[in-house]
Structure 1
Amino acid sequence: MHHDLVDGVPVIWTETPGPLEATLMFGCGLKDETFRTLGVTHLVEHLAMSTLPRLHFDHNASVSLSITDFTCTGRPEQVVDFLARVCAALTALPLERIEQEAGVLAAEGSGVADPVTAELLSIRYGTQGLGLASFNGPGADRIPLDAVRETVARHFHAGNAVLALTGPPPEGLRLPLPPGPRTARAPHPAPRTTRSSWHRADVPGPGLLLSCSLDDQAMLLAAHVLSQRLTDTARHQLGLSYDVDGTAVFVGPGRGERSIQLDVREGQEQRVAELLWHEAVRLATEEPTEAELADEREAAREFLTDPRTADLEVAERAADLLFGETHLDGETKLALQAEVTPAQVREAFAAAMETALLLVPCGVERLTLGRPDGSALPAGGCSERTALPVGSQYRPPLLARARSGAARKVRLVVNADGAWWQDEEGLIHGFPFTEVVGVEVQEGGRMLQGLGNCFVPVASELFAGLGRAIATIDAAVPEALCYPASALRATG
């Protein structure tokens, strides 16, 4: 692995067969946004790419939870031209194209994580940082222009960039980015949910999220053992699932999340969710076999020594440099895994299971599960309240109450401190105004989004006589958090 410096940007490269691949990374992504500015990094990426002419070689750009990258594969002179054009575009974005690119983003509709992992991160962290992964936000056409400018100035400069190459830097390579200091990385917001619990959401299959160190090779082996057990059981033995997948999410130095999720045959959601949890508890309480660990070590060796994975290795090393992380190369990982014992795998997984979040599809009505220590696994929710607070109370219109017994249970309370509502099942949702992260201004109403992965619909179609409630909200919430409904959202 080689290191160079071009125009103040570190360059990491290694020799691999095939055409030259380049990945220009910036240390920013969705986790650096707020609910109010959600999508701003993706908008910056689109604006930059919109300046490029038609190119007859592979090229792309993407935004993940933590990184924005611009990639291409081609002849050396093509790579040089592509990178120069991208850097030039980032220094002079075509802001006049915001309306068009916002529409493109709405049409694209892609997320930065699979839906199960995204929902789990939102449960863990709330409507902030990594927890923004499951939200759409106000809409691409509601991103403030100042947020676009601030994002470019803060993140898209030489001090926050790294270039990864699968060959030596080609002749004439330039990276004409403005200078800037290495971006100061504030600690990621603390998790709002740290104890194990189960949750329900509109997701295609069940999933499990575990807090751990991503460098812990015992935990890595545990995750692989669990995935293989689930594949053997849910797919090969029972025919309930096709795919078992896992995701590693960097949170900060020494902090990470690992998710494991399964797709599921229709009607078998509860059975697969219970299987996932029971296998996780078994791994937390019983050591894996030596044969299982040997199989996972061999799989790791095959992957890490395959020359076709060299491009992944150089990209991983570049990302670690970008975030100031200690890089573990393939040889080091294999050496560390060789020393891991079955007892260490169980211990690492048992510690992570104390933070486990189990997510199940909406079709699963009730779960009765136990933690590894034998205590009941509780159901989680966005609010711990069991009753509405004192304040001005609003009910559905009289006709709605007359037609529906469920509507008669619904209540809304708005007071000087915040807003709460009771849904048709009697569950309480809400938050103080100090936790509001966004307010959609609707005709005759407001939609409040809170920090704790929760919302309050102050809507005229749900509640009657909202004039006083709206006045209270407008006086309490900063104007910067308010926005009109997106014109790009489907209606009717």
Structure 2
Amino acid sequence: MQREVIDGVPVLWSAAPGPLEAALVFGHGASDETFRTIGVTHLVEHLAMSTLPRLHHEHNASVSLTVTDFSVSGTDEQVVDFLAAVCKALAALPVDRIEREAGVLAAEASGVIDPVTAELLSARYGTVGAGLASWGGPGPDRIAVEAVRETVARSFHAGNAVLLLTGPPPPALRLPLPPGERPERGGAQPVMSPGPHWVVANVPGPGLALHADLDGAALTAAHAVLQERLRQVLRHREGLSYDVDGARVHTGGGLGEFTVVVDARAGQQRRVAEILWREALRLAAEGMTEAELAEEVAGFREVWLDPRALPAELGQAGACLLSNIPYQDATARLDALAAVDPDGARQAFAAALRTALLVVPEDVEVELAQPDGAPLTEGGCAHPRGGELPSGGRHFKPPMFARLRFPQARTARLVLTDDAVWSRDGRGDVHHLPFADVVGVEVNGPGRVLFGRGNCATPVVPELFAGIGEAVAAIDAGVPKELHYELSAFAESDEDEGEAAPAPVSKASRR
């Protein structure tokens, strides 16, 4: 892999057969946003791409959790022209198009990662950084032009970019980006939920996340063995699942999540979740055979040394450069894997299992045990079931008709204290949201919905609680104005969803 610098931008390249492929990558992704600005990076990408003329060669742009890239494949001239046009657009974004591109984003309705992994990240990290992955936020039409301009000025410049090429840089290549300093990304993101827990979310199938050093060769090997065992059991033996997918998700400082995501046949989600957990426990207790380990190492060798893997390898090197973490090439990674023995892999997996988060679909209840036999408890944003509301403060009840018609409403309460709101839902969970932890306030007529950094939402609306004027006034006074926003014009109407019991905690603004 060669390295050069063009117009202040590092260029990583290595020769590969076929047309020239290029990716201009910026060290800014969805995890660099806030709840109030969710989607701003995607909007920047759309605004830049909207300036390009119609092109007939391969090109694209995308936003991930950690980076934004503009990619192209073609002749040297096509690559040069595309990159110059992108740089020119980023230097002078057509912000007059924000309203139209916001509508396009609403129609696209895409996330930066699959929904199961997104929920695992939110359960682990809360409603900040990588935890934003499962949230839709205020909506693309509520992103202010100032947020767009600030994002571009902070991150989309030569000091926070890297260019990846599958061949030497064409002589005419220029990258006319403004200069800038790479922003500090803060190292490893703090963990809200260390685990082990299981959580319920609106997901199509179960998933598992383990928090660890992502460069750990022993855990990398065990992670691969677990995936293959699940394929053999869930797909080939039981016929319960089609796909088992694993990933490593970076969340800063070389740390992150080893994830396993499994789809499930309709009606079999609980059984699939139980098998996923059972196989994880078995691997931690019994380990793997020499043959299983050797098979996975051979698989990594075949994939990583394949010439077609060069763009992915360049991408990994570029992401490491932008995140200021060391890059290990394929040879170094394979050498580390070759040094792993079955018991070392088992020990690494058993240690990581102490951080386990298991997500299951809604309406699925599981009864699982940890390796020591203690119950695997349900996690989430709430305090333990049966928690106590404060005795002081102003208490609000659901409207009388709701208490008469819905049993859950009879125990639901909202409590306003000097610096927080508390709520108890129909099943007894108590939620505490200090004003200092609020990351967004949705304004919907006379009501408010508060979103907290602890992955929790608390509606303070007249449909759920009577006489909330005092609570709304306290929220408006206690939470900074810049965190307030009007309900998105793209929000779906609830009018046709049918009658349901009020619930103090909502999934509003989920993707």
2:430 corresponds to 1:431: no
What amino acid does structure 2 have at the position aligned with 1:126?
G
Q: C-alpha offsets along residues 274-320 of structure 1, whole Å, 9 cap, x if unaligned?
A: 11111111111112100100110111111112111122112211222
What amino acid does structure 2 have at the position aligned with 1:370?
A
Are the counterparts in 2 of residues 433 and 476 from structure 1 also a CA contact under 8 Å?
A: yes
- How far residue 19 of structure 1 moved from its aligned partner, in angstroms, is 0.8
Are the counterparts in 1 of residues 188 and 253 from structure 2 also a CA contact under 8 Å?
A: no
- How far residue 383 of structure 1 moved from its aligned partner, in angstroms, is 2.1
Are the counterparts in 1 of residues 186 and 252 from structure 2 also a CA contact under 8 Å?
A: no
What amino acid does structure 1 have at the position aligned with 2:474?
T
Partner of 1:479: 481
Q: C-alpha offsets along residues 342-370 of structure 1, whole Å, 9 cap, x if unaligned?
A: 011011111111111011111212x2211
2:368 corresponds to 1:369: yes
- Give the Cα–Cα distance (whole angstroms) in 1 for the partners of residues 134 and 428 of structure 2: 25
Partner of 2:442, secondary structure, is strand
- Give the Cα–Cα distance (whole angstroms) in 1 for the partners of residues 216 and 189 of structure 2: 22
What amino acid does structure 1 have at the position aligned with 2:424?
Q
Q: C-alpha offsets along residues 240-266 of structure 1, whole Å, 9 cap, x if unaligned?
A: 000000121112223121110100011
- How far residue 429 of structure 1 moved from its aligned partner, in angstroms, is 2.2
- Give the Cα–Cα distance (whole angstroms) in 1 for the partners of residues 469 and 407 of structure 2: 25
Partner of 2:235, secondary structure, is helix
TM-score (norm 2): 0.94
What amino acid does structure 2 have at the position aligned with 1:429?
H
- How far residue 400 of structure 1 moved from its aligned partner, in angstroms, is 1.9
Are the counterparts in 2 of residues 430 and 455 from structure 1 also a CA contact under 8 Å?
A: no
Are the counterparts in 2 of residues 129 and 188 from structure 1 also a CA contact under 8 Å?
A: no
Are the counterparts in 2 of residues 60 and 71 from structure 1 also a CA contact under 8 Å?
A: yes
Aligned CA-pair RMSD: 1.1
The 10-residue stretch of structure 1 (395-404 or 211-220) with the greater mean CA deviation from structure 2? 395-404
Partner of 1:406, secondary structure, is helix
- Give the Cα–Cα distance (whole angstroms) in 2 for the partners of residues 256 and 406 of structure 1: 38
- Give the Cα–Cα distance (whole angstroms) in 2 for the partners of residues 443 and 253 of structure 1: 43
Are the counterparts in 2 of residues 124 and 192 from structure 1 also a CA contact under 8 Å?
A: yes
What amino acid does structure 2 have at the position aligned with 1:215?
D
Partner of 1:461: 463
Are the counterparts in 2 of residues 415 and 472 from structure 1 also a CA contact under 8 Å?
A: no
Task: Give 1:275-286 correspondences, 5 Å limit.
Answer: 275-286=275-286
- Give the Cα–Cα distance (whole angstroms) in 2 for the partners of residues 405 and 319 of structure 1: 52
2:409 corresponds to 1:407: yes
What amino acid does structure 1 have at the position aligned with 2:82?
F
- Give the Cα–Cα distance (whole angstroms) in 2 for the partners of residues 236 and 356 of structure 1: 26
- How far residue 187 of structure 1 moved from its aligned partner, in angstroms, is 2.9
What amino acid does structure 2 have at the position aligned with 1:181?
E
Gaps of 5+ in 1: none
Q: C-alpha offsets along residues 143-177 of structure 1, whole Å, 9 cap, x if unaligned?
A: 12221111111100101000001111112100000
Partner of 2:123: 123
The 10-residue stretch of structure 1 (157-166 or 325-334) with the greater mean CA deviation from structure 2? 325-334
Are the counterparts in 1 of residues 244 and 263 from structure 2 also a CA contact under 8 Å?
A: yes
Gaps of 5+ in 2: 496-511
What amino acid does structure 2 have at the position aligned with 1:376?
P
- How far residue 403 of structure 1 moved from its aligned partner, in angstroms, is 1.8
Are the counterparts in 1 of residues 209 and 258 from structure 2 also a CA contact under 8 Å?
A: yes
Partner of 2:407, secondary structure, is coil
- Give the Cα–Cα distance (whole angstroms) in 2 for the partners of residues 324 and 3 of structure 1: 16
Partner of 2:503: none
2:360 corresponds to 1:356: no
- How far residue 188 of structure 1 moved from its aligned partner, in angstroms, is 4.2
- Give the Cα–Cα distance (whole angstroms) in 1 for the partners of residues 410 and 188 of structure 2: 42
- Give the Cα–Cα distance (whole angstroms) in 1 for the partners of residues 310 and 132 of structure 2: 32
Give the number of aligned pairs.
491
Are the counterparts in 2 of residues 111 and 133 from structure 1 also a CA contact under 8 Å?
A: yes
Partner of 1:379: 378
TM-score (norm 1): 0.98
Structure 1 residue runs of 4+, over 6 Å off? none
Q: C-alpha offsets along residues 371-404 of structure 1, whole Å, 9 cap, x if unaligned?
A: 1232221111212250222321112211222222
Partner of 1:256: 256
What amino acid does structure 2 have at the position aligned with 1:419?
V
**% identical equivalent positions:** 57
Partner of 2:442: 440
- Give the Cα–Cα distance (whole angstroms) in 1 for the partners of residues 279 and 309 of structure 2: 31
